[in-house]
Each structure stands twice: as C-alpha cells, then as structure tokens.
Amino acid sequence: MCSERRCFVAVAALWWAGLTPVSASAESLELVARPAQCIALHRGQPCYQEVVLSWGALDAQGTWCLLSDAQSAPLRCWQGGAVRQHVHAYASADTERFSIRRDGSGAIVAKTRVTTVWVYREPRRGSSGWRLF
Amino acid sequence: MTRSVRRRLVQRAAVAALLASGVGAAMADEATRPYADGGYFEIGVGYFVSRSIKARVDGDGQRDVSRLGTLSLSGALRRGPFFLEARRGGLDGVSVGATLWYDRQHTLDVLAAHVPGTVDIGWSSGDDEPAQDERSRNDRLLSRESLLGMSGLRLRRFQGDSLLQLSTAIGWKHGNGVLSGLHLGRQWQWGNWSGQALVGVRHASSAFADFIYGVDEDEATERFARYRVPSTVFAEADVSVARPLARRLVWRSAARLRQFDDAVTDSPLVTGSRSWSLDTTLSYVF
C-alpha cells in the first residue's frame, strides 16, 4: 500500500504520461508481426516466410535497433522516428522473437514473436511422412 | 480340418506369436525409436486421371482411361508399437500392424492386415450371381482388381531423408498369392514445399498375378481366352509434392508410373505395358 502523498504523485505521473504525446514509451509501443504464424507441413520442418514487422512512432531523438533472438547482430539500426517497418525473411522450425531496443540505454521498448506451426503434428518420419506400402 | 483352413490358422498363429514377442521389445526404449506417436485424419477432394494397362470393355485394343473427381479419406495412427495407416497419395493402401523390432535406423513391422490399393465404395446388386451374357462376363473379368486382404512383414531402413523398404505380404484368399517389394524413397523440402520420390520393384507370385490378370477356364469368353499368369516382376515410381495452404489445409499432387513385363502383358485382359496416373488433392487435416 502507498501513502496518500505517494499515491497522489503516482496517479498524477500516470495522468501526465497519458496526456503527453509520448512517441517512444516502452509501455505504449506495439511491435506487430504479420503474419505471426508460419505454416510448415511436418513437425520439425523449418518454415520460410516473409514477415512484415511494423511499429508505432518512436522518439525522433533516439537511436533504435530491431533485434532478433536468432542472430547476435541487429536486423537494423536507425536514428529518429521515420522508420516504421522492416521486412524480414523468417526461417525457423520453432519461434523467432523480435524486439526494438533504444541504443545506448539498452532498454527494450517493444517485443513480438513469430511462431512456426505444423499441419501434421508428427515429424516427417512419423505416421504422416512416408506414403508407401 | 481342410488343408487351407489349417494353413490359415498356422499363419494367424504365427502373426500372433510375432506380435506377442516383438511388442515388448519395441516398447522398451523410447529414446531410440525411429518413429513417433501421433496420428492424423484427413478428408480430401481432388481430381484423378489414370491410364490402366487393361483393355476397355467396349473396345478391342483400347486402354481404359479414367478421369474422375475424388473424395478421399485417409489417416494414420500410432500408439507405441501399434499403427494403423490408410493412405491416399503415394502408393496407396491400408495397413494395421505393429512394430516388432527397431533400432535408431530400422523398423521391422508386422502387417496384420494389409490391403494394397484404394478402397472404392459403391453399391451394386446381384454381383454374386453368375453373369450370363458375354459383355457382363467381360466386364467382370476387367473389373476384378478389387480388395486383396493380406498379411506380411515390412522392414524399413531410414537414413536421413532416405528410406529403403523391403516388404512381403501373403494374400488371405485367391490361392494365397505373395506380393513382395523393394523400394527406395527420398524426401525433400524446398521452402514450404515438400516432395517425395519413390522407385521400386515388386514381385508378384503366380497366384497373386493370376488373380488380377489371369483368365480361368470357366471365366473365358470369346474375347478373353484362358490365360494363366506366371510369377512376374513390375517396376513402379511415384513422385509427389505437397504444400500447406493453411493451418489445416494441404494441397498435394502425385504422378505414378508402373511398368509390367510379358507375364502380365501377354494376358488377354491387358493391352499395354505401362500404366500411369496423375492425382491432385486438396485435403483438410484434422
């Protein structure tokens, strides 16, 4: 529980934050992947797809990087708020996670992920694999 | 007890013994299993074009070409060593069986019930009555290739994306014919396309081949003279590609070729040495 004074300060701060046109707020920025699923035939097969990653307005003063957990180097880095999307060649047998990081502070301001799903839930060698008698 | 009944009982007892001895071993070590539990069921609509080696009932020297829309049901289920496979696409058939033995690269399966081919569901009346006129008797001879219940063994060796299969199955009826096969297969993935190629040879015993392509004395007509088929070897190849269109929707196309030797092509029922089919299906997978 907060004291009366601290609670007032916190509510006021939240109200102020809500009114201010924050363009790089970590809480409000949404990173969207379309499509968010990639469909492969059999479990374990990698899936290949072009994924469009898009996000809202970022602080024009900042330097930003789009990251993937599938590689150590950033997918891209840029300065300012002009860049709003990136087309990524997805190739994964499970899930790839993406995030936008403010360069310098290292703060992650948005996250999303793309998941591979399969039509047949067994690996290719399983019951759905070989069609032969 | 007649000899054939006794033989059948011995065959079934052998299958039961194999099942009993092998299933325990097959369940022993899940880590080395080269197969996985699971299953699927799919319903498909498609288009099928085929050219048989058999003559058409309405014309000498003409081969039967079929073009038809298809509604297909297929699926597979495996729980531990036991499996049920009902396939359309690839080399078709229905099998119920169990894995007797395996290691990291091999499986030895007993096919308790094995029905090669595609099950056509239809309705007709009076089929058991002897056909009287010439045309009906010809028609019956040409459409005799129907369900053949069999039991047998299947040995598979997996190596990466390749498969080597040896199989042999004995028919339950029609002289207990034997059909054996040696097949090589390979699978590929190009982007989200999956492909499979199979080549192989099958040996059909005289009893098996004769049931499909032979003409008995009492079946012979003016057009189709008596013919006894010796054992035969035929080659087959199958190429198919598949692509997921949605989470539960798969498009699949296949081309198949079979090449028969003189033992079959000398039959009066046969007017060609090579059969082929093209098949495209859109399936909903449950």
Q: Give the long-range contacts of residues B81-84, CB within 8 A, separation 24 or more.
A: B81/B22, B81/B23, B81/B26, B81/B27, B82/B23, B83/A127, B83/B109, B84/B39
pLDDT for A34: 96
| Chain A contact for B247 (CB, 8 A cutoff) | yes
Q: Is-above-0.80 flag for pTM? A: no
Mean pLDDT of B246-261: 95
Q: For all residues of chain B together, what is the average pLDDT?
A: 81
What is the share, in percent, of chain A residues with pLDDT greater than 70?
71
Nearest 5°: phi and psi at A30?
-115, 130
Q: Please, which residues bridge with residue B44 across strands? A: B72, B283
pLDDT digits (tens, 9 = 90+) for A67-114: 999 999 999 999 988 899 999 999 999 999 999 999 888 899 999 999
Q: Is B43 within 8 Å of B284 (Cβ atoms)?
A: yes
Whether B5 has a pLDDT exceeding 90, the answer reads no
If you average pLDDT over residues B1-26, what whole number do you get? 46
How close does chain A come to B259, measured CA to CA in Å? 17
B189/A45 touch (CB, cutoff 8 Å), yes or no = yes
**pLDDT 10s digits, A22-37:** 344 444 689 999 999 9
Mean pLDDT throughout B105-111?
Answer: 91
The 8-class DSSP code of residue B219 comes to G
Mean pLDDT along residues B92-116: 87
pLDDT band at B36 (very low <50, low <70, confident <90, very high): confident
Question: Is the separation of the CB atoms in B283 and B252 below 8 Å?
Answer: yes
CB contact under 8 Å between B194 and A41, yes or no, is yes
**B106 CB contacts (<8 Å, ≥6 apart)?**
B34, B155, B156, B157, B158
Distance between CA atoms of residues A53 and A57, nearest Å = 13
Phi–psi pair at B5, nearest 5 degrees = -65, -40
Q: Give residue for tokens 């900042």.
A: A62
Whether B209 contacts B264, CB under 8 Å: yes
Q: How far apart are CA B108 and CA A94, in angstroms?
A: 31
Helix (H, G, I), strand (E, B) or coil at A19: helix
pLDDT for residue B269: 87
Q: What is the model's pLDDT at position B1?
A: 47
Parallel, antiparallel or unpaired: strands B38-56 and A63-68? unpaired
**Cβ-based contacts of A128 with chain B (< 8 Å):** 38-40, 76
Q: What is the pLDDT of residue B71?
A: 87
Query: Cβ of A39 and B78 within 8 Å?
Result: no
* DSSP track, B6-57: HHHHHHHHHHHHHHHHHHHHHTT-GGG-SS--EEEEEEEEEEEEEEEEEEET
Instruction: Look up residue B149 and give its two tokens.
Output: 């219940």
pLDDT in tens, A40-63: 999 889 999 999 999 998 888 889
Q: What pLDDT is stored for residue B64 in this prediction?
A: 66
Q: Which of B192, B196, B245, B258 to mutate to test the interface with A (most CBs of A within 10 A)?
A: B192
pLDDT at position B190 is: 95
pLDDT score for A126: 59
CB contact (8 A) between residue A132 and residue B36: no
Decide: B112 and B96 in contact? Cβ < 8 Å: yes
pLDDT-based confidence at B92, cuts 50/70/90? low
